[in-house]
Structure 1
Amino acid sequence: MRKVRRVIKISLFTNMSLVLIKIVFGFIGKSSALIADGIHSFSDLITDLIAIFGNGISRKPADAKHPYGHGRSEYITSLIIGFMVLGAGIGIIYETMHKEIIIPSVFVLFISFLTIIIKLILARYVVKKGNEYNNSILIASGKESSADVLSSIVVLISIFLMQLSEYSVIFKYADIIGTVIVGLFIIKTGYEILKDSISIILGEQETDEEFLQKIKNIILKEEKVKEIKSLIVIKYGPYYKLIGEVVMDNSLSLIEAHNIIDNIETGIKKKLRKIAYITFHMCPYVDKK
């Protein structure tokens, strides 16, 4: 989808700019915290590159070996992003325990604040578009960006408190304490991305009641359908696979029943374009009286 790739490219360009701003001004202002934050932002840059690659694969059409397309490659990409976020969190905690304490220049405060505003806008934009396009890669990338915002906020607070270190020795350690806390938040975000991706790869069923009810309404519009025995909807990347079992009037001929199922499938695909693959099993109606 071109719209998805456009969002990814916007995120890629923005993260590239933020990496340069943080690292360059971090060196100029002698702020190791801002440099570390720039390195963390670099992980966003890598995840965007992976996202572009993964999105391209997930859109490949079905073939003989992959009759349901390549949609699940999207979740493999999300797994990679999850591991990178997890690694970034662990790395930040490790680095902050071994870095030298240096009081940064005051102007670095403004740079840090500016990057937070830019990153916050980007994170909300990417997550919003991810939900709009039903794309797990964008959602995962947006969550990672949100984690980066938390990191930047702690950097901002740390830089501010370190300016006050002459009044209290404890302020010298503000950067270390704050960064460890943010590192734990980042690890939590990585864990959640991994958990969600693994669950979907294993075949997680859609639980959105409103979405499922729309499917049921289309099926039950057919008068000859007496009951829906089961309805399973599984995500395949940007699309869904529907497996249903319906009870039909036993007076119908095989051709009539087949035509009704065809009508149901056409109606579902027309009104709910996210559902690309449909399989129905027909059961004869038995009067329990």
Structure 2
Amino acid sequence: MTVESAAGTSHAHRVERVLWIVFVLNLAVAAAKYFYGLASGSASMQADGIHSVFDSVGNIVGLVSIALAARPADAGHPYGHSKFETYGSLVIGVLLLAAAFEVGSGAVEKLATGTYTAVVTPASFAVMVGTLAVNLGVTTYERRAGRRLKSEIIMADAAHTLSDVFVSLGVIAGLALVALGFPQADPVMALVVTVAILFSAWGVFRAAFRTLSDTAQLPEADVRAVASAVEGIRGVHRVRTRGTEAEVYCDLHIWVDPAMSVRDAHALGDAVEAAVKGRFPAVKEVLVHIEPEGDAGDDEGGPAGE
């Protein structure tokens, strides 16, 4: 196993560990909210429970996608399989849309028929406050792990779990209004849950499309500054980056002394590659195009036009 494939496997294992922990917690939270909501007739609690069930399904999608993403590069996928993690986040987005439809249609039906069945007891608030505390802990844990591991799938799931927090707050408010004599507040808050789920789905899709559309992953000026600092470089231009946040591919053009030998120019290119990888650990590969100083190439003005 190469160093790069070993690193990819290690990254995948760390992501999988986070997803398994979150899966168990989400499943426990979903069961508590849904079954108590079913027993008490609360549409908003059932809706929140369904939302949490989709969280758990999303965790399974994440586990499958990260297993695929961890596979090493091969002849058919010379850049590796990292985008399977992005595809997994898209599936989570679709699941969120399905959850929004399920929750929203149920709430609309209750409002249209005037069927308000919620029965609020102290236990209702105990269940919601307890699951809210768990969701807050899960969200904090996932966001920290996602930033540390630079994992799109974990960050997508963290956004999903964060929406659970706001949803639970809305459900608690709805239960309080029902207890005060406003039974229609329960399905109304279920509609608020629907809107929160849709916003969560939008955030997941936006992050995935950023990767799939090859949006620049690193600031061009920062990459250029690192490469320009290498001794012997006369200029840097045409800096491009793409990939996922955890696996970035970079290419750039450098100007060198026209009298420099091919061997020395190649060594300079290796030094630039090492400098960029050292500054940006997420960079997997740096392709350096070497040009003699004064050759404008595809840019106008040569080095002076950086």
Alignment partner, residue 96 of structure 1: 107
Match of 1:263 among 241, 247, 271: 271
Q: Aligned AA for 2:133? A: I
CA deviation profile, 1:232-258 (whole Å, cap 9, x unmatched): 111246210001111111110111101
Match of 2:125 among 109, 115, 122: 109
2:170 is the alignment partner of 1:159: no
* Local SS of the residue matching 1:64: coil
CA deviation profile, 1:121-167 (whole Å, cap 9, x unmatched): 211221221112111100000101111222221111111111111xx
Alignment partner, residue 178 of structure 1: 189
Q: Which has the higher contact order (CA 8 A, sep 6+)?
A: 1
Alignment partner, residue 78 of structure 2: 67
Match of 2:160 among 128, 144, 149: 144
Distance in 2 between residues matched to 1:191 and 1:143, nearest whole Å? 10
Q: Which moved further from structure 2: 118-127 or 175-184?
A: 175-184
Superposition deviation, residue 27 in structure 1:
3.3
* Local SS of the residue matching 2:234: strand
Q: Rate the CA distance shift 1:228–1:263 in 2: closer, same or farther, 3 A.
A: same
Distance in 1 between residues matched to 2:184 and 2:39, nearest whole Å? 22
Distance in 2 between residues matched to 1:73 and 1:177, nearest whole Å? 38
Q: Rate the CA distance shift 1:32–1:178 in 2: closer, same or farther, 3 A.
A: closer
Distance in 1 between residues matched to 2:51 and 2:195, nearest whole Å? 14
Alignment partner, residue 168 of structure 1: none
2:216 is the alignment partner of 1:205: yes
Alignment partner, residue 201 of structure 2: 190
Q: Which moved further from structure 2: 84-93 or 128-137?
A: 84-93
Q: Aligned AA for 2:233? A: V
Equivalenced residues, count: 281
Distance in 2 between residues matched to 1:269 and 1:223, nearest whole Å? 16
2:265 is the alignment partner of 1:252: no
Distance in 2 between residues matched to 1:204 and 1:260, nearest whole Å? 28
CA deviation profile, 1:63-115 (whole Å, cap 9, x unmatched): 11111100111111111111111222232111111133113131211111111
Match of 2:28 among 17, 28, 32: 17
Alignment partner, residue 130 of structure 1: 146
Q: Aligned AA for 2:129? A: F
* Local SS of the residue matching 2:183: helix
Distance in 1 between residues matched to 2:241 and 2:142, nearest whole Å? 26
Q: Rate the CA distance shift 1:182–1:21 in 2: closer, same or farther, 3 A.
A: closer
When the two structures are superposed, what TM-score results if normalisation uses the length of structure 1?
A: 0.90
Give unmatched runs, 5+ long, in structure 1: 166-170
Q: Rate the CA distance shift 1:37–1:236 in 2: closer, same or farther, 3 A.
A: closer
Distance in 1 between residues matched to 2:286 and 2:27, nearest whole Å? 42
Distance in 2 between residues matched to 1:16 and 1:178, nearest whole Å? 22
Superposition deviation, residue 280 in structure 1:
1.2
- Residue pair 2:217, 2:245 contacting (<8 A) in 1 also: no
* Local SS of the residue matching 1:286: coil
CA deviation profile, 1:247-285 (whole Å, cap 9, x unmatched): 111110111101111122233334432111111111110
Alignment partner, residue 7 of structure 1: 18
Superposition deviation, residue 224 in structure 1:
1.7
When the two structures are superposed, what TM-score results if normalisation uses the length of structure 2?
A: 0.86
Distance in 2 between residues matched to 1:217 and 1:207, nearest whole Å? 12
* Local SS of the residue matching 1:94: helix
Q: Rate the CA distance shift 1:222–1:84 in 2: closer, same or farther, 3 A.
A: same
Distance in 1 between residues matched to 2:99 and 2:72, nearest whole Å? 34
Superposition deviation, residue 221 in structure 1:
2.9
- Residue pair 1:26, 1:34 contacting (<8 A) in 2 also: yes
Give unmatched runs, 5+ long, in structure 2: 1-10, 296-301
Identity of aligned residues (%): 22
Superposition deviation, residue 187 in structure 1:
0.7
Distance in 1 between residues matched to 2:43 and 2:102, nearest whole Å? 14
